[in-house]
Chain A
Amino acid sequence: ETGVTQTPRHLVMGMTNKKSLKCEQHLGHNAMYWYKQSAKKPLELMFVYNFKEQTENNSVPSRFSPECPNSSHLFLHLHTLQPEDSALYLCASSRNRDRSSYEQYFGPGTRLTVT
Chain B
Amino acid sequence: LAKTTQPISMDSYEGQEVNITCSHNNIATNDYITWYQQFPSQGPRFIIQGYKTKVTNEVASLFIPADRKSSTLSLPRVSLSDTAVYYCLVGDTGTASKLTFGTGTRLQVTL
Contact = CB atoms under 8 A, between A and B. Distances in A.
Interface of A: 2, 4, 31, 33, 42-43, 45, 48, 55-56, 58, 88, 90-92, 94, 97-109, 111
Interface string B50-84: 00000000000000000000000000000000000
Contact of B96 (A90, A91, A98, A111): A98
Interface stretch (B9-17, B21-29, B37-45): B37-45
A101 B92 CA distance: 9
Main DSSP-derived SS at the B contact region: loop
Given A106-B43, A108-B42, A108-B43, A42 B97 contact: no
Given A102-B89, A106-B44, A55 B97 contact: yes
Contacts of A55: 97
A1 B103 CA distance: 24
Contacts of A103: 34, 46, 49
A31 B93 CA distance: 13
